[in-house]
Chain A
Amino acid sequence: MIHRADVVEACALLRDDPDGLYTLPVFVTAVDWPDREPAAPRYDVVYQFRSLHHNDVCRLVVQVPEDDPTVPTLEGEFCGMDWHERECYDLLGIVFEGHHDLRRILLPDDWEGHPLRKDYVSFGEPVAFTHNIEWALPAAERPPGMPGSSR
């Protein structure tokens, strides 16, 4: 477990040190812990690297708070992290500072919310049919009182 200011340095060290040589970026993701004790940061950002040379894996965990879910990007160190960081942003809303193209990757660009957060309720979305076409309106445009309305 490391501090987010040290992420880039730590990963570069893991990659370049002869005792590490963790050259293969496996993934980056995050785990949402909303019910952790109040003072504890809400998100665990999890990095995983693999060293082919030493046949080993290494996992780094960075804790970031709910009001500032940002970590520096690792794009410069591992170009393979590009898409994984975009996925993590898309599904969990972790912002990777310095990423050249931090857009949604799996969900449509106009999607609202980050589905893998624990407060995002799945199967709560209305299904649009012709008889209730207004369900398909974005949350901001739904009339007040209608489920899912943000007004």
Chain B
Amino acid sequence: MAAVLPPSGGLPGGEDPFAEGRRRLGVAADLDTVELTEIGEDTMELNMGPQHPSTHGVLRLVLDLDGEVVRACRPDIGFLHTGFEKDFERHSYQQCIPYSDRMDYLAPLINNLGFSLAAERLLGIEVPPRGQYLRVIMCELARIGSHLIWFGTGALDLGATTPFLYAWRERETILDINELVSGVRMHTSFIRVGGLMADVPDEFEAMVRNVVHTFPKAIDEYELLITKNPIWRQRTVGLGTISAEDALAYGMSGPSLRGSGVAYDLRKAQPYSSYDHFDFDIPVGHNGDVYDRYLCRMREMRESLRIIEQALENLPSGPVNTLDRKVAPPPRNEINTSMESLIRHFKLVTEGFHVPRGQVYQAVESPRGELGFYMVSDGSNRPYRVKVRAPSFSNLSALPYMVKGGLIADVVAVIGSIDIVLGDVDR
């Protein structure tokens, strides 16, 4: 670095900021033969991603660096933009469900639920209790599965390799349940407008009970590895701090907001799908840093297990789909014997159902926060407009604020802690 000296006589204003440096170097104050350069003005622009392993998908960050310190961060998103909102306008309501699967691909069932609830509110129908309870069980399993991926990859980003393998091992049991009920492991499209794809098979209960029994021990194991690990704490405590007011102004939600001490969970605040029947707590942090967001999610997994246990204990019997034949197809055996059922089935498959004119905003609590569907219907069999309010999108918009002034290595920790899914950000 070139010797840095101000013009002799110091800067205008009297105060000479370089006096101390000059004293140390033993340079006379009136020395004016050295070529002068400014220090501290230049920043280096560093491109991070979109193929960076710790950006959890295709997120590109442009960082302005002053040495190791991040002066500014400019996220560049849209690499995964697929135009789902446009696709919704071209498809009948039931055909939209597989598209909703693919937005937040770590918790597809919760996307299904949000879309279905919005359409059901416009239709004015309600799903029978058994359908609602099964939806809750599947959504909470999806939430745990999503948090497991966040936990594994987040720890991997900071150098902890073991939790990644453990988390994947446990998630496998959840994917097996998905496979059992729907035949598909990830994009299940299991929750549909009017109910579910089908009732669950007999083995379902035993498999879910197995999850409820084994997971608390598994989570204990994770916590043993990570929660009090001094390296983990050094890399997370006090980093990426955001206050409750700022988090709200940025529109953050979910565990990322609760880490800042705001106890707001849509499952409690505006219960949907019978969530008010279950007893569970909302884990809340205090400091709004990476570590508190980590603790919130870990405790949330245990709360989800409590919900699943209660739902399984009290699982009602009866139908899973609405009895409104204008929305839900008739049972298979009826199609064999009743001409009217056959016609109804044919109409539903080819044309779908018509939804009354109106608009509705339905929000559900996804693992990342408030997932909202603003749905406008013009009375036809296809949505006129669906706006998806993606939690990752708002949470990610606060990233430049959270990483500013921190070190470049901490950017990775902060990205991990807000748990973004780029399919959700870009849609």
Contact = CB atoms under 8 A, between A and B. Distances in A.
Interface in A7-37: 23-27, 29, 31-32
A106 B87 CA distance: 16
Contacts of B77: 105-106
A115 B253 CA distance: 28
Interface string A76-114: 001111111001000100000000000011111000000
Interface residues of A, number: 34
B78 A27 contact: no
Contact of B85 (A23, A83, A84, A116): A116
B387 A27 contact: yes
Given A27-B372, A105-B77, A116-B86, A80 B249 contact: yes
Contacts, number: 87
B374 interface: yes
Interface residues of B, number: 37
B253 A24 contact: yes
B121 interface: no
B361 A52 contact: no
Contacts of B294: none
A122 interface: yes
A26 B270 CA distance: 15
B83 interface: yes
A80 B387 contact: no
Contact of B384 (A31, A50, A122): A31
A26 B251 contact: yes
B325 interface: no
Interface in A98-141: 104-108, 115-116, 120, 122-123
Interface in B65-119: 77-78, 81, 83, 85-87, 90
B78 A31 contact: no
Contact of A83 (B248, B387, B397): B397
A70 interface: no
A64 B393 CA distance: 26
Contact of B426 (A24, A57, A106, A123): A106
Interface in A23-59: 23-27, 29, 31-32, 46, 48, 50, 52, 55, 57, 59
Contacts of B397: 80, 82-83
Contacts of A78: 249, 251
Given A107-B78, A115-B86, A79 B249 contact: yes
Contacts of B363: 26, 57
A82 B397 CA distance: 8
B78 A105 contact: yes
Interface in B252-274: 252-253, 262, 264, 269-270
A80 B394 contact: yes
B64 to A, nearest CB: 15
Contacts of B398: 80
Given A48-B361, A48-B374, A122-B90, A79 B250 contact: yes
B374 A107 contact: no
Nearest to A115: B86
Contact of B361 (A24, A59, A105): A59
B209 interface: no
Contact of A24 (B83, B87, B251, B393): B251
Contacts of B90: 122-123
Given A80-B249, A107-B78, 8 more contacts: A25-B251, A27-B387, A31-B376, A31-B385, A46-B387, A48-B372, A55-B269, A116-B86
26 contacts: A23-B245, A23-B248, A25-B251, A26-B361, A26-B363, A27-B387, A29-B374, A46-B387, A52-B248, A52-B269, A79-B249, A79-B250, A80-B250, A80-B252, A80-B398, A81-B251, A82-B397, A87-B393, A105-B77, A106-B77, A106-B427, A107-B78, A115-B83, A116-B385, A122-B90, A123-B90
